[in-house]
Amino acid sequence: MIYGGQLLSIYERVRALGLTGSRESFSTEWCGRGPDYLRDYTRRSGAMARVPPRTVVRLRSHLAEAARLLPAAVAAEVRAVDAMIERDIHVAGAVGRWSVRP
């Protein structure tokens, strides 16, 4: 699980690598959602909204595919984005466990 704020950071990294040109194309091509999908996470409390697991799986799959096709230097950057997602999943899981009270 990751949160909306983390998804927005991922978008910024992917855009900085030149792999997407807009929030709309990232939403549709990378996340498999509608063109306004990222906009939902920029709204009030959107940064703390959970991103559905199927969206995260699609995004990671798309990143893995891109890493296979890109030159080594760019592929390393793409793999770093995926590593960031992996870290965020673990952090979100830990935060979720800590916030549960008996």
Quote the number of domains for the chain. 1
Q: Which domain holds residue 17?
A: 2-98
What confidence score (pLDDT) does residue 96 get? 63
Six token digits for residue 26: 């990232």
| Per-residue pLDDT at 61 | 96
Between the alpha carbon of residue 40 and those of residues 4, 30, 43, 86, the distances in Å are: 9, 16, 6, 23
**For residue range 38-62, what is the model confidence (pLDDT) as tens digits?**
998 988 788 888 999 999 999 999 9
- pTM score over 0.75: yes
> What pLDDT digit, counting tens, does each position of 57-79 carry?
999 999 999 999 999 999 999 99
